[in-house]
Amino acid sequence: MSQQNPTTTVTATINDSEIDATVPSRYLLSDLLRRELDITSVKRGCETGKCGACTVLMDGDPVKSCSVLAAQADGTGIETIEGLDDELGEIIKNAYSRNHGLQCGFCTSGFLLSTKSLLEDVSDPSRDEIRERLQGNICRCTGYTRIIEAVEDAAVRYDPE
Amino acid sequence: MKPITYLEPETVDEACEQLDRHGHDAVVLAGGQSLLQILKRRLVQADYVVDITAIDDLHELGKSDESFRIGAAVPYVDIVQHPVARSQIPGLAEAIETIGDHQIRCRGTFVGGIAHADPQGDPPIIATALDAEFHIASVDGTRTVSASEFYAGLFETDLNQGELITHVEVPLSEDNEISTYQSFTRRMGDYAIAAVALSTSLSNDETMTDPRVVVGAATHGPTRLSSVEDSLDDSVLTDDIIDEAAETARENVDATDDEVATAAYKSHLVGELTRDALESVR
Ligand SMILES: Cc1cc2nc3c(=O)[nH]c(=O)nc-3n(C[C@H](O)[C@H](O)[C@H](O)COP(=O)(O)OP(=O)(O)OC[C@H]3O[C@@H](n4cnc5c(N)ncnc54)[C@H](O)[C@@H]3O)c2cc1C
Ligand code: FES
Ligand code: FES
């Protein structure tokens, strides 16, 4: 290849701020967020698309940032837990805290963002819907029961209109 | 991941030119859910990654004439939410809902799953049962190939270097046409150990005509079970017919043996999944 390490310029909105970064084209979205922008709440667990610790919202959809190229985020809006400061975000964070939906916290950013996407789509999900939508996030500490209770609690407190 | 050059063509022609120009050094990127894992592990070497998702034409999804068209840039989640897919091609929605998890389905594409041709993957199996047609483009023009002709064994397909699948067309059933997808996984979201897809016409008195029964995951790629199809064709779906079809499926499937499960176990699963498929359309 002629060029040693080709680069790409990514323009995106990350938690309401505009960024414009030139990174190696092989950078994953998780590399852009962690290495370039220092948003270390985005965790790297498996890097193979299985654990969900690296989940962020991309134009509102939950995606595993280890399985998206930074270049593919060009022109999109990305949300990490730093952006979870709106009403729904606060409700979700408080519900996880109140229900002991976390222990070590490594998986938590991913769970919070998957929960936000779920409650935006379905404000009153059943237990099965919660399990189904959180299936792409793995937690090694809680045993999931507390997490599901946290989501149910958040759903009760959240009133979309 | 090794260094790559990222290309983002805006038309199919431009994509085909790039694939042609860079030959072996180029690879198509759709949702990236499989490709990026492979590039990270350096199982595939590619200097040029051609992202096809900025091509407007490839975002088409919906009814076109007598078929349902799925563009190469359409993610799984959009397909299962489409009213035509849900109501007229239930087997397609059932197959997609078993794939990975919500995040994977937000990014991954059905056509990517078709092209990836993982023997454990769900899209090739349901596409074969639905008799889908794959539309392929390259600098030499376009061509169409049926799902059954496309798969040639373990990870082998009819796709040549420099070719791109632009969209898949699923023929739209007459009113009585029905489909289902049954698979067995150890945990929710895992790749299947065995899967059976069925599509058929079914009259009001439950007589089947032209059934297509396709088994996958347990075999080297999607395989039609013609002995089962023959036993079901023009038959009414009674308990006896279902028992017989399940037994025929179990006996005739050429299941693989691997570290996950033995061939005998997979054959047993194929029999039971055939039964589930028939009972679900009854
Ligand atoms: C954790 C995890 C679990 C999964 N579970 C399942 C599962 O249970 N069942 C299942 O079926 N799949 C599963 N998958 C795979 C998933 O379905 C992939 O998204 C899909 O196989 C590929 O679609 P993609 O759009 O991501 O394609 P990509 O990853 O972008 O591409 C895959 C391959 O196809 C080629 N390609 C893509 N599009 C085209 C095209 N239009 N023309 C020519 N070549 C093309 C690429 O060059 C590449 O070789 C899983 C993946 C992960 C990470
Ligand atoms: S680090 Fe991305 S899914 Fe595990
Ligand atoms: S709280 Fe430790 S992994 Fe979930």
What residues make up the domain containing A45?
Answer: 7-82
What residues make up the domain containing B193?
Answer: 177-281
Chain A residues touching chain B at CB-CB below 8 Å: 1, 3-6, 8, 24-26, 28, 47-49, 52, 55, 61-64, 67-69, 71-72, 114, 117, 131-133, 135-136
Last residue of a domain, one of B171, B188, B219: B171
Q: What percentage of chain B reaches a pLDDT higher than 70?
A: 99
pLDDT digits (tens, 9 = 90+) for B238-249: 999 999 999 999
What does DSSP assign to residue A100? T
pLDDT grade for A160, boundaries at 50, 70 and 90: confident
CATH number at residue A22: 3.10.20.30
Residues B161 and B60 in one domain: yes
pLDDT at B189 over 90: no
pLDDT at A2 over 60: no
**Cβ–Cβ under 8 Å, residues B76 and B108:** yes
pLDDT grade for A161, boundaries at 50, 70 and 90: confident
Give me the sign of the Cα torsion angle B142, B143, B146, B152: negative
Which phi and psi (to 5°) does residue B71 adopt? -75, 160
- What is the pLDDT at residue A4? 78
Three-state SS at B211: strand
ipTM, 2 dp: 0.96
- Report the C-alpha gap between B14 and B241 in whole angstroms: 53
Is B158 buried (19+), middle (13-18) or exposed (0-12) by CB count in 10 A?
middle
pLDDT at B176 over 70: no
Q: What residue has token string 């061939």?
A: B263
- What is the pLDDT at residue B155? 74
Q: If you average pLDDT over residues A119-125, what whole number do you get? A: 96
Last residue of a domain, one of A50, A82, A114: A82
CATH number at residue B198: 3.30.390.50
Concatenated DSSP letters for B59-91? G-EEEETTEEEEETT-BHHHHHH-HHHHHH-HH
Q: If you average pLDDT over residues B152-166, what whole number do you get? A: 89
pLDDT digits (tens, 9 = 90+) for B102-137: 999 999 999 999 999 999 999 999 999 999 999 999
pLDDT at A72 over 90: yes
- What is the pLDDT at residue B200? 94
Residue of B nearest to A8 (CA): B6
- Closest-CA residue, ligand 2 atom 3, reads A49
Beta-carbon separation of B4 and A135 below 8 A: no
Residues B142 and B218 in one domain: no
Beta-carbon separation of A49 and B104 below 8 A: yes
